[in-house]
Structure 1
Amino acid sequence: MPEKYIVVTGGVLSGIGKGIFSASLARLLKEVGVDINVLKIDPYLNVDAGTMNPNQHGEVFVTDDGYEADLDLGHYERFLGVSMSRRNNITAGQIYSTIIQREREGKYLGSTVQVVPHVTSEIKERITSMPGKVLSIEIGGTVGDIEGEVFLEAVRELAFEKNRNDFLFIHVTYVPYLRVTNEFKTKPTQQSVQLLRKIGIQPDVIVVRSEMPIDSQSLYKIALFSGVPRDMVINLPDVGNVYQIPETLYEAGVHKLVANRLNIQIEEKPLGWSYPKSFKPYRIALVGKYLGTDDAYKSIIESIFLSGVQKPVVIDAQELEELDDEGVAQKLSSFDALIIPGGFGRRGIEGKIKAIKYARENKKPILGICLGMQLMVIEFARNVFNLKGANSTEFDVETPYPVVNMMEEQKKIMNLGGTMRLGAQKMQVLKGTKLYSIYGQEEVYERHRHRYEADTVNFGFLYKFPGEEGYKLTISGKSEFLEAIELDDHPFFVGIQYHPEYKSKVGAPHPLFTALIKAIEEVNK
């Protein structure tokens, strides 16, 4: 059970970096010796993020234990360097599902089931059951959201029932800059704090996000109208590299402010935090279909960034569908490598297949992830073995050559949420392959999220094992499913059924991404 609590709330706007701040603060406290754990509360009614559209909500991040969370758990993993689990996320859907189930089972002994105390009690029970001496709780959304009110009420009650001095409330807000009048506008922040006070929560610290550094007069005004000491109002302007934020917080002495307020011991030592500060000038194309938000491929983008290369450029796969081979070559020739990410549905699929064909024929380094690997198999079947119409049954149930098919156990499943092959699964890496040279070991665990598999039984002639002759796809990783393929005569043609991007950490990007960068270097010598 936690002894101290840090509660991070947001105001004015969502998507202003509350998750990045929470992850940065947790990392900073970990660096100075604090036993800290993190909890993300999402007020939406989904049980988890698994059925959400990446165009609207960003990527789905999968944990080792097979939980489908939103991208904030990815921030926590990358910054803290530890694996998250389903315990690190609470959604309103989980809470209400539990309450209703208990009511149906008669667990409330005839009581009228209400938001207070039943819903708030369930929330508090989940919070207090978390391990770690200090628990950082990030409440998603903004103050004033209807769906978030019950969670704010729960943490207010918890602070009242325990010791208010064991709680630190941090409010992250945004102050816009009005160029017409050349001034920062603090009124939205003032009103946001007033809303928080009406709920019964007085913030101890206000973190002010802004486009550029804010003048001291504006920060004083925020402190005055919010009832927060001036030294507890911290400005965090936009930065080009979010991984410098723990450093920024350290230099501002935020760890000392937190330690003094919560009366916890910290170690006085330099910040041991290493992140990429210079980048190799390679251009990588991410051939995707979810273009509604940059967060749709967040973990892949960050994996490349953490490997010391500028962020990849997202290419619309649908645009490639309209081009012939020459047009695709013109579009992609300026890139040093391609990544074909995962996804669902047939939109943009033929464009991705055209990109794979270009990379295979032109010896362009390419990494196919999940669906990307399946499309590599389809492209190879069509264009090398001349199996015209080869496809996945996900896109064409009548295909004459179903080289990718739904896994047998998945055919019996009716519900979509939380039913895929999820989480860390053991796989064998075959010796004599590029994949083995990357891992250096025969057995690894990687995170999965898929319903379909490449059919190696009916279409085994497409593949070979390491050392065998012929122009075929070399099997480099396997479990009960095909886990990885590659081409022998290509600088880097690797397809994997799993998601390596979920395991990249600051200072330790997944080795598949560093291997891709190394392949680019070899090609460009």
Structure 2
Amino acid sequence: MARFVFVTGGVVSSLGKGLATAALGALLQARGFTVRLRKLDPYLNVDPGTMSPFEHGEVFVTDDGAETDLDLGHYERFTGVAARRTDSVSSGRIYSNVLEKERRGDYLGKTIQVIPHVTDEIQDWIAVGEDDTDFMLCEIGGTVGDIEGLPFFEAIRQFAQRRQRGQCIFLHLTLLPWIAAAGELKTKPTQHSVKELRAIGITPDVLVCRTEHEIPAKEIAKIALFCNVRPEAVVPANDLSSIYEAPLAYHEVGLDQAVLDAFGIHPAPRPNLSRWRQVVDAIKRPDGDVRIAIVGKYTQLEDAYKSIAEALTHGGIANRVRVTTEWLDAEVFEREDPAPLLEGFNGILVPGGFGERGTEGKIRAAKFARERGVPYFGICLGMQMAVIEAARSLAGIEDAGSEEFAIEASGSAGSEDKRLEPVVYHLKEWLEGNRTIQRAVSDDKGGTMRLGAYDARLAEGSKVAGIYGSDRISERHRHRYEVSTAYRERLEEVGLRFSAMSPDGRLPEIIEFEGHPWYIGVQFHPELKSKPLDPHPLFADFIRAAVAQSRLV
């Protein structure tokens, strides 16, 4: 039976609860325990799948096809434990489940209330899979005091009350602001945050205090006294130059020991952090530098491409180089010649996205990389743009485009631009295991894409088969549109090889340009499976090619 750690936040948002939770999971693993990490989000969206990246950042996709919070990406990267659909739940999902049960008559005609029906539903979700792991780490989104978070706080209070003593603890993350004029850290916001928690029946066992300055011993004693925790359970969390320093940094200040002490685990197994030390050493002492241009449409918010940024870092770790990324707005390339902006980069990456805005700029970036011999990595829409560019420039298909853009321009679902050569089309049917999935353009947007892990077969002798060292892979997808095989012969005649297909041979998964130093497009999202301790082979090889290109300049 699992022990539960409930992670809450106070004072302000964006303090790094997800990172702290992930780092704690890594530390518990380093001591030989098994972990599972879970995120409970108070927003009313059923999931973040239809939310704008500017609202929510990246949508992280699990193997079983759930669209989740980006914190699950941190969880996977730090622990290597593949997240499941049950590891992410929002208020919207909880209320939806409760209302479905009410419609079915499961509540036998009773009045449906937040307590007990909503809080019981949350507790049922928390308990899923508890017999399969040593520790279940549950992060509560938002900040204590937010009205939408109250059902979750009440649920975890009840959950801990119903469990055996010592099976659940509460870890609270707060901020110690530095007041420059006074020259001191202020503990009062933390005291008030803990007071807010205690008012709803939750007493934290461990406090993690984010700060830009070292916390004096007297301030730690003050926090411990007024927040009713042991001084050893007041854990400072200073800013770091890399998030991958977090497991080592948190271990040095005693986070994992404080958690184990709160559970009464004595003696605690000693941790083996050698692999994390190797990661940090590779980051801090690189043997060189490469510059990568990321040409996208959500470049104002780097969290929209969080997993891509981290996977590039992992590729740098694998090659022991520092990867410097620059985010370039694809729309700029529609107005200007991309050459002056892209010259000097050792690699170009075009990520996924939705809608027509910026796509012509991405096509021009793909053309620049192809013609100049610069390593090119196209992901999802980035692969589709590479295919459209080749169709237009090399295969003589001047009106090559995507049905996505024709539908968007027409303003009505199902309309078609008669001039369009649909090199990319709306996917209406595909195989998921042994069953056929069917979709229409007019379907609801949420949860209707090709989502989750699918297998692909790699062509013998292809570059990607060499990179993977295998002829069969499984990668995660999130898209509605696919490259058409109707143009395959014409494209392969000009050097664009379809080097991986779905097992039934109907859906292109990877394309590559023969004779180019490194030009690969993938329909899936390899960044979602990359980790600092296990960099994804495509990102590792992309950075290797960028290193080689940097030596030619």
Q: Which TM class, normalised by the smaller chain length?
A: over 0.9
Whole-angstrom distance in 2 between the partners of 1:374 and 1:196 = 49
Q: Which residue of 2 aligns with 1:310?
A: 323
Whole-angstrom distance in 1 between the partners of 2:200 and 2:324 = 41
Aligned-residue RMSD, C-alpha = 1.6
Q: Which residue of 2 aligns with 1:84?
A: 83
Q: Which residue of 2 aligns with 1:347?
A: 357
8 Å CA contact retained: 1:247, 1:273 = no
Shift of 1:292: 3.8
8 Å CA contact retained: 1:304, 1:311 = no
8 Å CA contact retained: 2:426, 2:441 = no
Is the partner of 1:474 in helix, strand or coil? strand
Q: Which residue of 2 aligns with 1:447?
A: 476
Whole-angstrom distance in 2 between the partners of 1:245 and 1:400 = 50
8 Å CA contact retained: 2:11, 2:175 = yes
8 Å CA contact retained: 1:477, 1:485 = yes
8 Å CA contact retained: 1:56, 1:292 = no
Whole-angstrom distance in 1 between the partners of 2:342 and 2:12 = 37
Whole-angstrom distance in 2 between the partners of 1:199 and 1:273 = 41
Whole-angstrom distance in 2 between the partners of 1:12 and 1:104 = 39
Shift of 1:200: 0.8
Q: Deviations over 1:434-484 (max 9, x none)?
A: 111101211111111110011111x234332xxxxx423111111120111
Shift of 1:175: 1.8
Q: Which residue of 2 aligns with 1:394?
A: 404
Q: Which residue of 2 aligns with 1:146?
A: 147
Q: Which residue of 2 aligns with 1:288?
A: 296
Q: Which residue of 2 aligns with 1:49?
A: 48
Q: Which residue of 1 aligns with 2:191?
A: 190
Is the partner of 2:108 in helix, strand or coil? coil
Please say if 1:172 is aligned against 2:173. Answer: yes
Q: Deviations over 1:405-425 (max 9, x none)?
A: 101233266111111001110
Bigger shift: residues 30-39 or 261-270: 261-270
8 Å CA contact retained: 1:9, 1:139 = yes
Shift of 1:509: 0.9
Q: Which residue of 1 aligns with 2:428?
A: 408
Amino acid at match of 2:481: Y
Is the partner of 1:463 in helix, strand or coil? helix
Q: Which residue of 2 aligns with 1:467?
A: none
Amino acid at match of 1:320: F
Whole-angstrom distance in 2 between the partners of 1:487 and 1:134 = 47
Shift of 1:207: 0.4
8 Å CA contact retained: 2:64, 2:84 = yes
Shift of 1:212: 3.1
Shift of 1:215: 2.9
Whole-angstrom distance in 1 between the partners of 2:466 and 2:526 = 16
Is the partner of 2:323 in helix, strand or coil? coil
Bigger shift: residues 127-136 or 16-25: 127-136
Aligned length: 515
Counterpart pick for 1:271 among 267, 270, 273:
273
8 Å CA contact retained: 2:211, 2:237 = yes
Q: Which residue of 2 aligns with 1:487?
A: 513
Q: Which residue of 1 aligns with 2:109?
A: 110
Amino acid at match of 2:296: G
Amino acid at match of 1:460: R
Whole-angstrom distance in 1 between the partners of 2:254 and 2:113 = 43
Amino acid at match of 2:9: G
Shift of 1:377: 0.8
8 Å CA contact retained: 1:317, 1:349 = yes
| C-alpha distance 392-412 of structure 1, shift in aligned 2 (>3 A) | closer
Whole-angstrom distance in 1 between the partners of 2:219 and 2:364 = 54
8 Å CA contact retained: 2:290, 2:550 = no
Whole-angstrom distance in 1 between the partners of 2:192 and 2:324 = 37
Is the partner of 1:223 in helix, strand or coil? helix
Shift of 1:269: 4.2
8 Å CA contact retained: 2:314, 2:539 = no
Is the partner of 1:495 in helix, strand or coil? strand
Counterpart pick for 1:462 among 490, 500, 505:
490
Shift of 1:164: 4.0
Q: Deviations over 1:322-380 (max 9, x none)?
A: 103xxx11101021100000000111111111111111111110100000000001111
Q: Deviations over 1:161-214 (max 9, x none)?
A: 223422211100112222233222322222111111111111111100122323
Please say if 1:38 is aligned against 2:37. Answer: yes
Whole-angstrom distance in 1 between the partners of 2:238 and 2:325 = 24
| C-alpha distance 206-269 of structure 1, shift in aligned 2 (>3 A) | closer
Shift of 1:111: 1.0
Is the partner of 1:425 in helix, strand or coil? strand
Whole-angstrom distance in 1 between the partners of 2:172 and 2:236 = 12
Instruction: Give me the identity figure in percent.
Output: 45
Q: Deviations over 1:34-75 (max 9, x none)?
A: 232211111111111211111221111111111111111100
Is the partner of 1:344 in helix, strand or coil? coil
Amino acid at match of 1:517: I
Is the partner of 1:203 in helix, strand or coil? coil
Shift of 1:517: 1.2
8 Å CA contact retained: 1:340, 1:368 = yes
Q: So what's the TM-score if we normalise by structure 1?
A: 0.95
Mark the runs of 5 or more structure 2 residues left unpaired by the alignment.
317-321, 407-415, 430-438
| C-alpha distance 53-307 of structure 1, shift in aligned 2 (>3 A) | same
Please say if 1:432 is aligned against 2:482. Answer: no
Whole-angstrom distance in 1 between the partners of 2:101 and 2:271 = 49
Whole-angstrom distance in 1 between the partners of 2:374 and 2:149 = 48
Q: Which residue of 1 aligns with 2:233?
A: 232
8 Å CA contact retained: 1:31, 1:272 = no
Amino acid at match of 1:213: E
Amino acid at match of 2:106: K
Bigger shift: residues 274-283 or 154-163: 274-283
Please say if 1:298 is aligned against 2:302. Answer: no
Counterpart pick for 1:323 among 298, 314, 336:
336
8 Å CA contact retained: 1:81, 1:506 = no
8 Å CA contact retained: 2:488, 2:498 = no
Whole-angstrom distance in 1 between the partners of 2:271 and 2:498 = 48
Q: Deviations over 1:307-327 (max 9, x none)?
A: 223242211111221103xxx
Whole-angstrom distance in 1 between the partners of 2:459 and 2:86 = 34
Amino acid at match of 2:304: A
8 Å CA contact retained: 2:9, 2:144 = yes
Q: Which residue of 1 aligns with 2:319?
A: none
8 Å CA contact retained: 2:423, 2:484 = yes
